[in-house]
């Protein structure tokens, strides 16, 4: 277990170095941050002074070394638009995104599992066909379109829910959360549904496929022959056997919900990390973009670690130490 | 995707229209398109000036096109390189501390010294050398060169409280601790990326604003901003795409506010290179020469532009045709210049005369996320030039990529679309930036995307820099505009509009400098 954790740590560090170099070079290639701020009033002296101050006059490799040097001491640079440390700006937005992604994931699991199980047991019924049809829609409808439709129907036409924003928040452990207020839930519901749509479809299809496949296997027939109640077979034995792929997909989807809720957050003006990333890319706020990717790498590394540990817990055949080699 | 979103927004905008509720008196919620910087000296962008105008005062201020005093009551040139400002007495900051010349000196110094600032407000201080506090209500600014526009440009410098802002960080401004000004509103709360709340400053020295409370909601997506207005979540929204505004006009619960902007739009040619990868023959092989060096070809491009159609069809009426490198709202706009004709037949003939009877291949470049309809304008220009026989390609790209390739010495494109706005309302910054010869060592013509160079114009701009009489300044600029019109380095197209939409029952004045100010809004009588 310890060697597994250690090798994971080394892998993650390597990944961080490689990703930082790739992203840094990528953003550098896109263009000059100064040029996006073209202003009629800037004189040449001022442009040059600013370039020097921000280190933009240096060649790429020197800029990267300078960045890497201060990154080692925990400083990923200062945001060009917020004038605060990039990591701070990102972590400030993390609670909002975390809360949105968690609620979305709960919706996806809470609806997706029962629906998938049902569709697996009764694959030919009308209900299953409806569920499967819905899951196809969940995959194929573009997220921003669904988001706008949700706003138009529930906020503008029916007037039940607010269109955008986060609503009232409550400080819990020093962090702002909106899941503890009614107003917060009213704001949270639409973006969470919008965000849940894709993982919901994924979980439905995965669960259904697993159930259909497992029901034909010997252990299920044997259990049935033994006279075990069908519900017990399904919820205890089958579910356990399809849990491993489900955990993987849930983990990965949760990671992308956290890191790339970009479209949903932008349309619903949800003040989370995704919206921050879009704004940062739009005006080439390089420190925030690079720091964001690094934070994302960390999030995925942690989630994958949790997923692997969950494997071991779910499937006795899996040994973590061996997987690492 | 942007266009699809916009199209959807208009589609639903028509369907809806029941949601908007009555205006809640005393409070106005404004849906804005940009994230604010609460520190008024960080990131010099028009949108940030709009935010700080509510909380902070400045020495001067531009209202209805006129320069007025705010924290200064009068100013005069006390030497060729010196300006003196007399300050307003008995002004108090939001924390009750008195305002004095020391706060002005501190603010000006802070602007130049604020580290890590990609766009510094020091751009508004010209060649400022030092600041002299003569007495608590008199201050003198010494510059290295004559700076006739200083009283105008200093309107963009917010005056902060020396006591509250000394050593303040961005976090201190975001928390409100350092956000102490003399403006019509006081800081109340700021949630990064979401909302900025202000309350009225009852001790304000100027006109008392109509609203007790102002809430800015940051909604960057155009379609979401419109939806928020339709649902009644906000009372007023800024930066409404013209096509959406045209649809929203039909909604009885809403009021559309349209006014002229200083920003004007034009095409630029590449006049420098002998060959350019974006100029080819009709088969796509490099042409090997630059047809735009021939003025007949440039004139043909201008004649191919159906400006009236651009204004009515592409901009949905939210624009005005121009015939020169300036906006009609600028005092220097030259009214003696003739309108620019639309004549595709003559354009074809000019092309043939210049040796291109079959036309040639050309790519037009634009941004697609900077100006209203910039992506659509790209296609429009492409189609209009295809009509006179050019083999057109259209390339619209994000501003982050586009703008780094426009100015010299890169100047990569053969033909491109650009807008230019100047909050001071003079034509001179545009002339100095885009028309004056580019010189890397003397730092002139920094945005001269065309690579245009005219010795006579350079000489006149040199003279303009030292001229402080407004009438003479206008005459010099009018003369230069006429010279530019003769040479056609740029093809003027139209001047844009500022479009805002509110609930019925709110009166709102748009401003040519595109600032969205709560003080310009009031409950309609």
Q: pLDDT tens for residues B341-377? A: 999 999 999 999 999 999 999 999 999 888 888 999 9
Q: What is the reported pLDDT for A322?
A: 53
Q: What is the reported pLDDT for B21?
A: 41
Q: Does A282 touch chain B (CB under 8 A)?
A: yes
Q: Does B407 touch chain A (CB under 8 A)?
A: yes
Does the beta-carbon distance from B447 to A275 stay under 8 Å?
A: no
Contacts of B215 (CB under 8 A, 6+ apart): B27, B28, B29, B30, B195, B196, B197, B198
What average pLDDT score do residues B435-462 get? 88
**3-state SS, residue B320:** strand
Q: What is the reported pLDDT for B356?
A: 93
Q: What is the reported pLDDT for B202?
A: 93
What average pLDDT score do residues A306-313 get? 84
Contacts of A62 (CB under 8 A, 6+ apart): none
Is the pLDDT score of B19 beyond 60? Answer: no
Contacts of B387 (CB under 8 A, 6+ apart): B304, B344
Place of tokens 């704004």: A279
Does the beta-carbon distance from A159 to B193 stay under 8 Å?
A: no
Is this complex scored with an ipTM above 0.85?
Answer: no
Of residues A42, A148, A269, nearest to B5 (C-beta): A148
Burial class (CB in 10 A: 0-12, 13-18, 19+), A324: middle
Is the pLDDT score of B23 beyond 70? Answer: no
What average pLDDT score do residues A288-303 get? 88
Q: What is the reported pLDDT for A38?
A: 60
- pTM, two decimals, is 0.85
What is the token pair recorded at A86? Answer: 């990039």
Does the beta-carbon distance from A83 to B224 stay under 8 Å?
A: no
Q: What is the reported pLDDT for A37?
A: 67
Output the average pLDDT for chain A: 85
Q: What is the reported pLDDT for B16?
A: 43
Give chain B positions within 8 Å (CB) of A44: 443, 446
What average pLDDT score do residues A291-312 get? 86
DSSP at B439? B
Q: In whole angstroms, what is the distance from residue B257 CA to residue B264 CA?
A: 19
**In which band, very low, low, confident or very high, does the pLDDT at B116 lie, cut at 50, 70 and 90?**
confident
Please name which of B442, B422, B108 lies closest in space to residue A38, comparing C-alpha atoms: B422
Output the average pLDDT for chain B: 90
How do residues A38-76 score in pLDDT, each as one tens digit? 665 667 777 777 788 788 888 888 888 888 888 888 888
Is the pLDDT score of A228 beyond 90? Answer: no
What's the distance, Cα to Cα, between the start and end of chain B in Å?
Answer: 41
Q: What is the reported pLDDT for B168?
A: 93
Q: Does A132 touch chain B (CB under 8 A)?
A: no
Is the pLDDT score of B326 beyond 80? Answer: yes
Does the beta-carbon distance from A159 to B231 stay under 8 Å?
A: yes
Nearest CA in chain B to A165: B194
Does the beta-carbon distance from B218 to A269 stay under 8 Å?
A: yes
Pairing assessment for the beta strands B60-63 and A175-177 based on DSSP bridges: unpaired
Q: What is the reported pLDDT for B13?
A: 46
How do residues A102-116 score in pLDDT, each as one tens digit? 999 999 999 999 999
Place of tokens 């607010």: A162
Q: What is the reported pLDDT for B14?
A: 43
Q: In whole angstroms, what is the distance from residue A251 CA to residue A244 CA?
A: 11
Of residues B43, B194, B447, nearest to A38 (C-beta): B447
Nearest CA in chain B to A84: B170
What average pLDDT score do residues B378-400 get? 92
What is the DSSP secondary-structure string of A194-262? HHHHHHHHHHHHHHHHHHHHHHTSHHHHHHHHHT--HHHIIIIIIHHHHHHHHHHHHHHHHHHHHH--H
What average pLDDT score do residues B155-183 get? 94
| Cβ-based contacts under 8 A for chains A and B | 182
Residue B143 contacts residue B200 (beta carbons within 8 Å): no
Nearest CA in chain A to B218: A269
Q: What is the reported pLDDT for B452?
A: 93
Place of tokens 């004189």: A43
Q: Does A37 touch chain B (CB under 8 A)?
A: yes
Q: Does A5 touch chain B (CB under 8 A)?
A: no
Give chain B positions within 8 Å (CB) of A39: 44-45, 119, 123
Nearest-CA distance B422 → chain A (Å): 7
Residue B115 contacts residue B42 (beta carbons within 8 Å): no
Strand ranges, E, within chain A: 170-172, 175-177
Residue A261 contacts residue A267 (beta carbons within 8 Å): no
Give the Cβ contact number of residue B229 at 10 Å.
29
Burial class (CB in 10 A: 0-12, 13-18, 19+), B8: middle
């Amino acid at each position: 277990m310890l060697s597994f954790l250690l090798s994971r740590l080394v892998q993650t560090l390597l990944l961080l170095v490689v990703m930082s170099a790739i992203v840094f070079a990528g953003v550098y290639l896109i263009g000059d941050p100064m040029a996006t701020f073209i202003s009629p009033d800037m004189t040449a002296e001022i442009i040059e002074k600013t370039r020097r101050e921000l280190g933009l006059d240096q060649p790429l490799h020197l800029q990267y070394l300078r960045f890497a040097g201060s990154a080692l001491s925990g400083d990923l640079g200062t945001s060009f638009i917020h004038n605060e440390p990039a990591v701070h700006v990102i972590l400030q937005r993390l609670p909002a995104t975390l809360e949105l992604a968690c609620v979305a994931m709960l919706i996806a699991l809470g609806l997706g599992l029962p629906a998938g199980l049902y569709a697996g047991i009764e694959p030919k019924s009308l209900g299953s066909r409806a569920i499967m049809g819905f899951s196809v829609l969940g995959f194929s409808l573009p997220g921003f379109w669904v988001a706008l439709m949700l706003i138009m129907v529930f906020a503008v036409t029916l007037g039940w829910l607010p269109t955008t924003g986060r609503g009232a928040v409550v400080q819990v452990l020093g962090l702002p959360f909106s899941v503890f207020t009614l107003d917060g839930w009213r704001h949270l519901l639409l973006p969470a549904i919008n965000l849940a749509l894709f993982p919901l479809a994924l979980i439905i299809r995965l669960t259904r496929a697993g159930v259909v496949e497992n029901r034909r296997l010997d252990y299920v027939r044997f259990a049935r022959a033994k006279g075990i109640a069908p519900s017990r077979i399904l919820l205890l034995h089958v579910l356990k056997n399809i849990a491993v792929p489900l955990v993987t997909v849930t983990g990965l989807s949760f990671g992308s919900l956290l890191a790339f809720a970009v479209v949903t957050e932008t349309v619903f003006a949800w003040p989370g990390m995704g919206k921050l990333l879009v704004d940062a890319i739009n005006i080439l706020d390089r420190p925030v973009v690079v720091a964001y990717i690094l934070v994302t790498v960390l999030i995925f590394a942690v989630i994958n670690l949790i997923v692997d540990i969950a494997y071991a817990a779910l499937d006795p055949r899996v040994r973590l130490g061996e997987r690492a080699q | 995707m942007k266009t699809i979103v916009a199209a959807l927004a208009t589609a639903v905008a028509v369907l809806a229209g029941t949601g908007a509720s009555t205006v809640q008196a005393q409070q106005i919620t404004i849906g804005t398109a940009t994230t604010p910087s609460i520190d008024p000296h960080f990131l010099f962008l028009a949108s940030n000036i709009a935010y700080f105008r509510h909380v902070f005062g400045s020495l001067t201020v531009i209202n209805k096109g006129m320069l007025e005093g705010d924290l200064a009551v009068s100013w005069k040139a006390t030497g060729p390189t010196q300006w003196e400002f007399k300050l307003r007495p008995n002004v108090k900051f939001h924390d009750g501390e008195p305002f004095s010349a020391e706060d002005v000196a501190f603010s000006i110094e802070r602007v130049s010294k604020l580290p890590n600032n990609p766009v510094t407000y020091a751009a508004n201080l010209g060649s400022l050398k030092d600041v002299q506090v003569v007495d608590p209500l008199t201050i003198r600014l010494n510059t290295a060169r004559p700076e006739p526009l200083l009283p105008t440009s200093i309107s963009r410098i917010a005056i902060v409280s020396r006591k509250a802002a000394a050593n303040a960080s961005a976090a201190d401004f975001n928390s409100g601790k350092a956000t102490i000004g003399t403006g019509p509103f006081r800081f109340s709360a700021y949630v990064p990326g979401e909302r900025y709340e202000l309350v009225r400053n009852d001790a304000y020295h100027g006109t008392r604003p109509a609203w007790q409370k102002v809430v800015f909601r940051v909604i960057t997506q155009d379609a979401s901003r419109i939806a928020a207005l339709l649902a009644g979540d906000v009372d007023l929204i800024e930066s409404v795409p013209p096509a959406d505004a045209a649809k929203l006009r039909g909604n009885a619960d809403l009021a559309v506010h349209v006014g002229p902007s200083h920003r004007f739009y034009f095409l630029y040619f590449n006049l420098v290179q002998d060959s350019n990868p974006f100029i080819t023959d009709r088969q796509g092989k490099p042409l090997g020469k630059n047809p735009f060096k021939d003025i007949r070809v440039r004139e043909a491009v201008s004649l191919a532009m159906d400006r009236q159609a651009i204004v009515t069809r592409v901009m949905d009426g939210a624009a005005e045709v121009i015939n020169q490198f300036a906006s009609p709202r600028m005092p220097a706009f030259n009214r003696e210049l003739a309108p620019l004709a639309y004549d595709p037949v003559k354009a074809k003939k000019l092309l043939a005369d210049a040796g291109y009877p079959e036309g040639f291949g050309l790519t037009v470049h634009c941004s697609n996320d900077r100006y209203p309809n910039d992506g659509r304008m790209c296609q429009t220009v492409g189609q209009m030039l295809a009509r006179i026989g050019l083999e057109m390609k259209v390339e619209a790209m994000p501003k982050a990529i586009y703008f780094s390739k426009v100015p010299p010495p890169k100047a990569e494109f053969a033909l491109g679309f650009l807008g230019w706005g100047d909050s001071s309302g003079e034509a001179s910054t545009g002339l100095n930036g885009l028309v004056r010869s580019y010189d890397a060592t003397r730092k002139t013509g920094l945005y001269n995307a065309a690579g245009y160079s005219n010795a006579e114009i350079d000489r006149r701009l040199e003279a303009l820099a030292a001229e402080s009489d407004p009438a003479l300044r206008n005459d010099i600029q009018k003369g230069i505009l006429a010279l530019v019109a003769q040479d056609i380095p740029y093809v003027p197209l139209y001047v844009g509009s500022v479009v805002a939409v509110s609930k019925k029952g709110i009166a709102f004045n748009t401003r040519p400098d595109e600032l969205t100010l709560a003080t310009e809004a009031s409950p309609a009588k």
